[in-house]
A and B are shown apart, each in its own frame.
Chain A
């Protein structure tokens, strides 16, 4: 299969603090690759570099052969925080049409594409509602529909299911698997949930603590058709899960410090602050 995304020697520093160090990997066309790593390890920084939202300090990203400089046209991102990512002043349909405005000039065609995308996620009836009238899971389905409506070459998902309850989360996972099968999308999904990465992914890339680097690149040898109960109970699933957990927790030479959770959160906080500062400076010039 041809390569859709290639990340080479990627590094990003905020001042003297390295968030991502010398990262390299590829994602093939039609593949769903999951990146799993401890919180605060620089996953989001990595994803934002791939999306072209921030410029990496070193290394490069190429999307179907073209180097990424700025946000590529055929890329879509689904953020974790759907309530902040959806525009509250636009109806559900308006939200899905938002990215289409630059891509589809014909109004009726745009409307049709939006309705279509909403149907993919089972929200054909909710088009004229406002986001706050929907439940959290439905709102995240709107963001997915919005991303899919652009027919992106690469769909980036940043912890997309981390803010919904467990049942909704399982439903959304299956929904993602279904739409990507139906539309042959290439997906790069970032998560901190080991089970989710194995359940969804064709491949799982395991990241180390910050500065993030790739510890392992595992191919998920599970049948393409996944099932919340059967797949999660299978011996292979448990094996993979255990392997990743071991990679994440007992990495030789990198014993977790006693206040690991705390320092991770702090690191995440610091990254975010640094990033905002950077974005602010960019936007003010």
Chain B
């Protein structure tokens, strides 16, 4: 019951905001601010209308939306793989980390969009450059969080595993990584939002395909309707990717109790004797 009302409540406010936006923009009639209805309508014609005017996925989906999204997800996945592996290795060695910690913290603090000229210089304009820039920017939060998580393994669990003569691979796979998982996921989420930013940024120069390129082109052509449509699309992509990652996280961290669940579990065990 409360769940249902919560659900309607959420969407109600969202829809109300949408309606208000519609009314305000329609009333002001400003070219900079098209109404949400116009934006949706335009987005439909951009992405869901084929060349002959019928319904279907447009060329823009295959030439702009999918390649851009694939680069963001791909770069992020590369960063995740490298970051977790390297982080798990470095987190086990305190001295090893001391050599590289300031450097990594520095890389994390670098505003990666400013590195775009460097990456263009080194790799050239192209998919490889974009992918590398995204991966480079996404690595640091995952890496640092993995190191943190791996270090936070409880001393009693360490002793327990040692007292059972646990071999190294089992120790890493079944104790260290699960213990570090909540932190790793926090890093992955941060990285994902960075990946979406860099997806846009990496397309701002050189080429004319991709989400970011279209956004800039629309602005340069004073095509505010398209600009808005692309901005909304980026928001939706960010939202969906985040949602997907949350679903994976929820599954992977299923074992983690919420405070409410712990409280109710205690109640039932007490009541049951």
Binding site for B on A (CB under 8 A): 48, 51, 53, 71-73, 75-77, 79, 81, 84-85, 87-91, 98-99, 101-102, 130, 132-135, 138, 150, 156, 276, 279-280, 283-284
Q: Is the interface of B mostly helix, strand, loop or mixed?
A: helix
List residues of B (245-271) whose CB comes within 8 Å of A's CBs: 255-257, 261-262, 265-266, 269-270
A134 touches B162 (CB 8 A): no
B255 touches A88 (CB 8 A): yes
Number of chain B residues whose Cβ lies closer than 8 Å to a Cβ of chain A: 32
A102 touches B167 (CB 8 A): yes
Contact with A along B153-190 (1 / 0, CB 8 A): 01111111011111100100011001101000000000
A98 touches B164 (CB 8 A): yes
Across chains A and B, the number of contacting residue pairs, with CB separation under 8 Å, is 84
Q: Given the complex of chains A and B, what is the CA–CA distance between A91 and B178 in angstroms? A: 13
B177 → A minimal CB distance (Å):
9
Q: Given the complex of chains A and B, what is the CA–CA distance between A73 and B270 in angstroms? A: 37
Q: Given the complex of chains A and B, what is the CA–CA distance between A152 and B257 in angstroms? A: 32
B156 touches A90 (CB 8 A): no
B163 touches A87 (CB 8 A): no
A134 touches B269 (CB 8 A): yes
CB contact between A90 and one of B154, B158, B174, B270 (< 8 Å): that residue: B174
With contacts A81-B156, A133-B265 taken as known, whether A71 is within 8 angstroms of B163 at the C-beta atoms is yes
Binding site for A on B (CB under 8 A): 92-95, 154-160, 162-167, 170, 174-175, 178-179, 181, 255-257, 261-262, 265-266, 269-270
A284 touches B166 (CB 8 A): no
A37 → B minimal CB distance (Å):
20
A138 touches B265 (CB 8 A): no
With contacts A88-B255, A283-B92 taken as known, whether A135 is within 8 angstroms of B270 at the C-beta atoms is yes
Q: Given the complex of chains A and B, what is the CA–CA distance between A279 and B155 in angstroms? A: 9
Task: Specify the chain A residue showing the minimal Cβ separation from B161.
Answer: A98
Q: Given the complex of chains A and B, what is the CA–CA distance between A99 and B158 in angstroms? A: 13
A284 touches B94 (CB 8 A): yes
A-B contact pairs, 15 of them (CB 8 A): A71-B164, A73-B165, A76-B164, A84-B154, A87-B174, A88-B256, A89-B178, A99-B164, A102-B166, A132-B261, A132-B265, A138-B269, A156-B163, A279-B155, A280-B94
Max chain B Cβ within 10 angstroms of own Cβ: one of A51, A79, A87, A156: A87
A-B complex: 9 closest residue pairs judged by Cβ atoms: A99-B164, A84-B156, A89-B178, A77-B163, A135-B269, A89-B255, A132-B257, A284-B94, A133-B265
B24 → A minimal CB distance (Å):
49
With contacts A101-B170, A135-B269, A284-B93 taken as known, whether A84 is within 8 angstroms of B255 at the C-beta atoms is no
B160 touches A102 (CB 8 A): no
Task: Specify the chain A residue showing the minimal Cβ separation from B178.
Answer: A89
